[in-house]
Structure formats: C-alpha cells, structure tokens
Amino acid sequence: MCGILGWIGDVDPKDKYFILENGNLRGRDGFGFWRPSGVKRGFTLTSEIKEWVVDGRIVVGNFRATPTTEAESKDSLLQPYDGFVHNGIIANDKDFADCPIDSMVLPIIFKDRSFSQIVPNLSKIKGSYALAYWHNGLILACNYKPIYFIRKEKGFMFASIPEMLPDFSVPMKPYSAMKIWSDMTIERIDLPRYQNNKVLVSASAGLDSTTVAWMLKNQGYEVTLVHFKYGCLAEGKEIDRIHRIADAGGFDLRVIDMPRGVMNGTLTNGDYHHDQIDGTQYAMDWVSARNLLMLSILTAYAETNRFSYIAFGGNLEESGAYPDNEEEFGRRFNAILPYATQNGVKVELIQPLSRYMKHEIVKIGAELGVPYDLTWSCYSDLDYPCGNCGPCFMRKKAFERSGLKDPVFK
C-alpha cells in the first residue's frame, strides 16, 4: 500500500528533504501534501514543490501506490482529502459515499475531528489504516498498518517505514492513536479490541508450566492446558502426567500432535546430558525452535477458538542457558502478534515466571497448592525421575533452597 509522512514544529530542512526523497519507497503513483495554507498534488516532485513542502511547519503527505481495485490516479484523485492522508483499505467505503477512491470518505466519517471522537470514528471503518490529519494538533492513528516517528525537543516527524526517516525512529503502538500538540506534548490512547479471560497454557507436565496454570487460575483466568507431542523421549510419561494434572486442576486439556522430524534435538534423540550442573549452564540439551513453534501454534488455536491469552513457563533461571526462556523472547513475540492475527483480534502472551528463579517458583506453587507430585520434569522415560539430567538437578536444588521436600524423589 501507499506511504504517509509529515512533521510538525521546528524540523531541520535537511531532515525534511530526506523524508521527501525517500517517500516513494512506499508508493510511486503520485503524491500529495497538505499544509494549513494549501495543497500540492502531482506525479513529478519538482524542486519548486519540494521547497513549498519544506517551507511548512505543519505538513501531512502521501505517496500513492494504486491498488488493482482502483483506477489509475489523476491529479484530482490524489490525497490529501480535506487534510487527511491514509495508508490502507476502507472496505466499507460505499456505506458512506460512492467515491472513486475509498480514502475519500474519511472527511465524511470524521465529521467531528476532535481527538475525543477518534475511537467512535475509527470504529466505523472496516479495513486497515494508518492515517494522519491536523485538528488543533497532529493526530495519528493506526491498527496494524505501521507508523514510525521521531520526537525531538521542538519537532516531530513521522512516516510509514523507518527507512523514510532520517534518524533512529520508534514504531507507533499498533491499535493506538496519538495527538501531538504544538509544544510536542503527546496524548495517547489504545484502540479497543475484543479480549476475554480465556488463556491457553503450553503445558509439558513439568514444574514451571504446571505452576503457571495454577497461578493464572488463581488470578481468575479460565485456563485450558495444551500439551504438544513432538517425539521427546519422555513423551509417554508427560502424556500420563498431563492428564492427571488437568484432572487435579479442573482444567480442559488439548493434546496437539506435532509432525515428527520438525522439532529435533537431544530430547528427541535420547542423547541428553546426565551431568547435572553442566547441563544447566548452557543449552546443551535443545529442541529446535520449540517455544517459537509451540507459541505460534497456540496463537493460531487461540484465534480460532477465541482465547485472548496464551502462556508458557519461561523463567529467569533458565534464561541464562536458553534464549527462548529469556523475557525478551516473549516481549518480542508479543510485539509481532498484532500483525499475525486478523484485524481487531487480540491475542497476548503472558510470561508469569519470566522474573523468577526456580526456588521462587517452587515457593509460589507450594502456596497455591500445586500438585508437584503429579509433575514430570525428567528427560528420561524411566519409572522414576533419573535425578541426573538438568531439570531433575534444578528442581531438587529449588526444593532444597525453599526448605521443602520434592515429592517426586523418594
């Protein structure tokens, strides 16, 4: 789709020229710029037009990329439309007016342009949008369409992609709106999306994910456990235990079979390390992209079945050895979710244990009455936990430090 851009305040002319020179990275089928004093549109960005645009302290602009559903543009059809610039598609534009370009209905939708009316106005739109207009301040709004910005002491710049801006920029939060006043103060709001209290917990039957399930149940979430069968050596033990854990907690349980050969590693090959502490200090035992794949599948299942949250047992202790246990992994996974689900659908990852060590997790679980006697952390398929693999070593030490007895070890 097309690109939008603009600025407000004291912005260096060199930065303005940079934005103009790179505006066509998101559209090469015409352009248009709005200033309080007028509008310039066209197909050739002459030096005269550039000077006019750069001379403006308040500017919003658009570089057009013509969709296959619309006719080739002529000057009169180019944005801005009564001061609005828009990147996206308004699928229900004919509900408002029979215009040749969908974005032309924006001035009709926004009869009241005040920031206080941004949510009811945007709720009328079926489609995608990143838009900008001026109303006693610069107003920006987006769902999943991107807007990046640079805020300085006396100036503010924005564009559809960071490559259109001259310096380090930050993305506008998806599904949000903001108003930038002339003094560079910013007013922000989140745009509403549907969200309930239903959560899917990726549950291995181990200590961490079982604690997560009890924590979220205690916090009022409606918890469903999801167990992934991916061919690990302990699969039989895990299946038996996860059913018992679900029964003990009164949780619904879903079991998902992963295609064999997709997720491989020492836990599927059976050659995991048995040297206790050495196996906990580095990711010697690894299954390829396990948490990434599981959380991605949980996201799809959540969207399909109207769960608003997903969760897993990533924790501070194991983040030292496993990158997909680091809190930042979850933070970045969350950052991509607004672009991975349907417009208006909100699925959010919860990481209840991301700042807790194992001994702290055990204390939390003990207070909540987690049935640790039902859990299985061991990499083996023996009758009893081996006591020598990394998870066995960590949980034994965690219980010892908590002054508790681990019920799985005789």
pLDDT in tens, 356-366: 999 999 999 99
- Select from 295, 294, 275 the least CA-distant residue to 285: 275
Residue 384 has pLDDT above 80, yes or no: yes
How far apart CA 211 and CA 291 sit, in angstroms, is 17
Please indicate, yes or no, whether residues 216 and 143 belong to a single structural domain of this protein. no
Q: For residue 324, give the amino acid letter.
A: D
For residues 147 and 241, state if they share a domain. Answer: no
The answer to whether residues 185 and 306 belong to one domain is: no
Same domain for 58 and 92, yes or no, is yes
pLDDT tens-place string over residues 218-249? 999 999 999 999 888 889 999 999 999 999 99
* In 41-160, alpha helices (H): 47-54, 106-109, 118-122
Quick check: is 32 in a domain? yes
The CATH number of whichever domain residue 342 belongs to comes to: 3.40.50.620
Task: With respect to residue 54, please indicate whether it lies within any of the assigned structural domains.
Answer: yes
What H or E segment, with its residue span, contains residue 278? helix 278-281
Quickly state the pLDDT bin for 74 (edges 50, 70, 90).
Answer: confident
Residue 272 has pLDDT above 70, yes or no: no
Torsion of CA 402, 404, 408, 410, to 10 degrees: 130
Do 179 and 41 share a structural domain?
A: yes
In a domain, 185, yes or no: yes
Give the pLDDT of residue 1.
66
Instruction: Decide if pLDDT at 287 tops 80.
Output: no
Split into its structural domains, the chain has a count of: 2
CA 222 – CA 364 distance, rounded (Å): 19
Placement of tokens 């916090």 in the chain = 219
Phi, psi of 394 (to 5 degrees): -65, -40
Rounded distance between C-alpha atoms, residue 15 and residue 48, angstroms: 17
Per-residue model confidence as pLDDT tens digits over 35-58: 999 999 999 999 999 999 999 999
Which residues span the domain enclosing 155? 3-190
Most confident of 79-88, 225-234, 282-291, 375-384: 79-88
**In the chain, % of residues over pLDDT 70:** 93
Residue 262 pLDDT: 74
DSSP for 382-394?
Answer: SSS--S-SHHHHH
Evaluate whether residue 409 is within a structural domain: no
Together in a domain, 92 and 233: no
Supply the DSSP symbol for 259: P
Asked whether residue 330 is assigned to any structural domain, the reply reads yes
**Residue 261 located in a structural domain:** yes
Q: Output helix, strand, coil percentages for the chain, rounded to the nearest 5.
A: 35, 20, 45
317 and 301 inside one domain: yes
Identify whether residues 21 and 124 lie together within a single domain: yes
Check pLDDT > 60 for residue 278: no
Q: Please check whether residues 235 and 357 belong to one and the same domain.
A: yes
Q: Are residues 87 and 226 in the same domain?
A: no
Average pLDDT over residues 310-339: 93
> Which of 314, 388, 391 shows the shortest CA–CA distance to 353?
314
How deeply is 141 buried, as exposed, middle or buried, from its count of CB atoms within 10 A (0-12, 13-18, 19+)? buried
One domain for residues 183 and 123: yes
In a domain? residue 410: no
Query: Above 80 in pLDDT, residue 284?
Result: no
CATH of the domain at 99: 3.60.20.10
Provide the angle, in degrees to the nearest 10, between the axes of the packed helices 358-368 and 207-218.
50
What tokens does 167 get? 């310096």
- Which of 190, 221, 239 is the last residue in one of the domains? 190
Distance of CA 222 to CAs 217, 249, 311, Å? 6, 11, 12
End residue of a domain, out of 165, 190, 215: 190
For residue 177, what pLDDT is reported? 98
Phi-psi map region of 205: left, alpha, beta (phi>0 left; psi -120 to 50 alpha): left
Average pLDDT over every residue of 327-332: 96
**What was the pLDDT predicted at 390?**
86
* Structural domain includes residue 393: yes
- The kind and range of the H/E element at 229 are strand 222-229
* Average pLDDT in the chain: 93
pLDDT of amino acid 340: 97
At which of 190, 215, 234 does a domain end? 190
Same domain, yes or no: 132 and 164: yes
